[in-house]
Amino acid sequence: MSSFCRILFVFDRNLRLDNNSLLKACLDRCKDRCCEVMFLYVWDEEYLWPHGYNAFQANFLQDALARLRNQLQWFDANLLVTKGDRLEIIRKLIDDGDYRKVFMESSLSPHEEGDYRKIEVRLQELNGTLVSDLGNWLYPKGVVKSKQGGVFKKYSPFMKACEKLFEEDLQQFKDHFFAAEHLPWSAIRAVHEIGFGYLPMEIDSLGLDDFYVWNDEMLESYKEFRDFPWREKGTSMMGAYLRFGVVSIKRLAVEAWGKSRTMWNELVWREFFAHWYAAFPETAIENFDHRFDMMKWENDVHLWEKWIEGKTGYLMIDAGITSLVKSGYIHNRVRMVVASFLCKDLHMDWRKGEAFFARYLIDYDPASNVGNWQWVAGCGVDAAPYFRIFNPELQQDKFDANKIYAYRWLPVDYQVNKMLDHGVEKVVAMKLYDDLKREWEYNKG
Ligand SMILES: Cc1cc2nc3c(=O)[nH]c(=O)nc-3n(C[C@H](O)[C@H](O)[C@H](O)COP(=O)(O)OP(=O)(O)OC[C@H]3O[C@@H](n4cnc5c(N)ncnc54)[C@H](O)[C@@H]3O)c2cc1C
């Protein structure tokens, strides 16, 4: 055995032991020396939820952390969880706790990457070492690039470029999947207290059942069933598991590649928005298409309340919002319809809807949420044109004809009392858009 070594291992978006290559790198490094490792997760609500506390996601995260801790304890290790300012706590441990070797994920999410860079700089100043691996995405920033070396602004060429890379990497991905029990756990001694006055956060398992549907049957029927919200197992429900890396995106992408290319394409949409958001972090609050800066959004509290209370009188909208606030989940098709209704029938700013979703979605992720909201509103990357307006009644007839989804969520005494006429609002939306284009052309001239 050679020198003694103290390691700080920070969990973030890969809350699992299997197929966690950063963890593998850490334990491999410990093989021939005596290592003391602190496995840490910092529960930082500002870091997690920029739009305010999200109870559904908090419960999911708590359960995921409890499971992770149990798995670590199985290997005589431990997970220390504390609450507070993540960056400050990690810095304090480096400065005062004398941790000079840190294993930490890099991120495609801009504010997370910002923290990562600060830690990197601090460790450089102290002659320490930062070992990193990307959070739960397929490719780091800059790897999927256009022929000119830039960021893709269209999904199709991005997907084609991913396809090429993925084909090349497929075998390598497969070769690197591993189970946690094959790691050299005996090489480490786990730390059981953070110290420095940091109190452990109570993390109790909530005993939540896994709700994802990832099996051959789902993958085989995904292409056919994915658009019908009334089908209970039509989609994978994997969003939250991917957000927190309870499952590896690489493992799912490899399975999807062989079994459902439609599913693989959806996983690549996630990747597309993440790379776009990493390149244009200002789109968290700014329109990607700046013509929309001149849009005259409606700001009527009464209209807004009807939407968030699920009282618009349109079945699919009201059922979707009810499912979101009651369960933290809303089907993708219904997300598109409710978002379109907010922006194009109520003429409200996508940012209001984005913030609302952020407080309820169990799979909330800034890149996917901002990307999709801007996509629906028409101002985002590779966005649906503003004049593509979902008709909530046609969507209802086409995707939930027997109203199974609608009445799964709506109260029994639900009244169909439409708050407005979709046909009329569609004309208003088109006019708003035409005005916008004219104003833009005029200002350019
Ligand atoms: C307005 C709006 C807001 C959204 N906000 C989020 C969000 O905050 N977080 C989030 O993960 N997804 C978001 N989505 C995308 C999509 O609706 C969800 O990923 C999907 O419904 C999750 O359910 P699932 O896991 O059963 O999906 P599946 O259909 O089983 O898809 C599997 C996985 O592919 C990815 N995926 C599928 N569609 C998309 C998409 N359009 N964009 C990005 N990734 C996708 C997700 O990781 C998903 O879990 C949003 C969509 C809209 C229209």
Measuring from atom 51 of ligand 1, which residue has the nearest CA?
A: 372
Measuring from atom 23 of ligand 1, which residue has the nearest CA?
A: 237
> What pLDDT shows up at residue 202?
87
Domains identified in the chain and CATH numbers: 2-135 (3.40.50.620), 137-176+214-279 (1.25.40.80), 282-438 (1.10.579.10)
| Tens digits of residue pLDDT in 322-365 | 999 999 999 999 999 999 999 999 999 999 999 999 999 999 99
> What pLDDT shows up at residue 345?
96
> What pLDDT shows up at residue 2?
52
Residues of the chain under the 50 pLDDT cut = 1
> What pLDDT shows up at residue 1?
46
State if residue 422 touches ligand 1 by the CB under 6 angstroms criterion: no
Residue with tokens 């441990």: 93
> What pLDDT shows up at residue 387?
84
> What pLDDT shows up at residue 165?
97
State if residue 370 touches ligand 1 by the CB under 6 angstroms criterion: no
CA of 88 to the centre of ligand 1 (A): 32
Please give the C-alpha separations between residue 78 and each of 9, 37, 93, 343, in angstroms, as whole numbers: 11, 9, 17, 47
> What pLDDT shows up at residue 274?
98
State if residue 367 touches ligand 1 by the CB under 6 angstroms criterion: no
State if residue 221 touches ligand 1 by the CB under 6 angstroms criterion: no
- Dig out the tokens for 402 from the structure: 């027997």
> What pLDDT shows up at residue 253?
98
CA of 397 to the centre of ligand 1 (A): 23
